[in-house]
Amino acid sequence: MKYIVANWKSNKTTEESLDWLNNIKIKLSQINPKNISNLEIIVAPPVVFLPLMKKIIEENSLPIKLASQDVSPYGFGPYTGAVASFMLEGLADYAIIGHSERRKLFLEDDQILEKKVKLAVEAKLRPIYCVQDAQTYIPQKVDIVAYEPIYAIGTGQPDSPENANKVAGQVKQKKDIHILYGGSVTEANIGNYLCCSYIDGALIGGASLDADNFWEIIINASTN
């Protein structure tokens, strides 16, 4: 099983997100579902789009799982602006936690991220925990890690498959978990990562925003 995760970050209007999903829905209807049964396709839209997307996915039985891009380090209570994990229970299956943009722009450290992981797991969200190198601390309850070197994110300068595989191997030596690679993954290079022995999937930002591009990523990933 390979994990293909689309991280839209803070992009798209409601209309654009519905267009994207509709486009993917049409493409899914044109293939044999068995062709992509080796993939876990996960989409992480901005949190406000989750309910509507969940409804469409369920109504059409689409083979797509949803993820939140983040969760609050707190539960219910006086935390203005925060979305608690418990609010996402039943709405998303996964939660991206510790993305380097959260660490850098929102000053999230290991302690905060550990709290987020704990609450996400309590709310039955499976964390996809982002690390920047093999040394980054990984909380105990995490079983999917995305290796995303900062220089490769949104730059068009991905890490080499050889190095990404080496880092994935180093992380796996410490902990038996699934490792995704993220950072300038495209439809053109995804195959180079998925054929690496230690890499179990990809986290895709920019190239996931366009449904046609993302579909090509899915098709290329399904043959690996």
Annotated catalytic residues are 99, 148
CB of 92 to ligand PGA, least distance (A): 16
Q: CA–CA separation, 116 vs 45, rounded Å?
A: 18
Q: Considering the complex, state which of residue 85 and residue 184 has its C-beta at the smaller distance from ligand PGA.
A: 184
Q: Considering the complex, state which of residue 204 and residue 211 has its C-beta at the smaller distance from ligand PGA.
A: 204
Residue with tokens 């105990």: 140
3-state helix, strand, coil in the chain (%, to 5): 40, 20, 40
CB of 145 to ligand PGA, least distance (A): 13
- Residue 44 has φ and ψ, to the nearest 5°, of -115, 90
Q: Considering the complex, state which of residue 84 and residue 102 has its C-beta at the smaller distance from ligand PGA.
A: 102
Is the alpha carbon torsion for 201, 7, 150, 101 positive or negative?
negative
Q: What angle do CA 51, 92, 161 make, to 5 degrees?
A: 125
CB of 80 to ligand PGA, least distance (A): 27
Q: Considering the complex, state which of residue 119 and residue 202 has its C-beta at the smaller distance from ligand PGA.
A: 202
CB of 203 to ligand PGA, least distance (A): 5
Q: Considering the complex, state which of residue 33 and residue 154 has its C-beta at the smaller distance from ligand PGA.
A: 154
- Interface residue list for ligand PGA (CB under 6 A): 7, 148, 153-154, 182-185, 203-207
CB of 168 to ligand PGA, least distance (A): 16
Residue nearest to ligand PGA (CB): 205
Which of these, 62, 63, 79, lies nearest to 116 by C-alpha position? 79
Are 17 and 45 contacting, i.e. CB atoms less than 8 angstroms apart?
Answer: yes
- Residue 159 has φ and ψ, to the nearest 5°, of -65, 155
Q: CA–CA separation, 203 vs 114, rounded Å?
A: 21
| Cβ-based neighbours of 195, under 8 Å, separated by 6 or more | 161, 224
Residue 118 Cα distances to 126, 139, 204, angstroms: 10, 9, 25
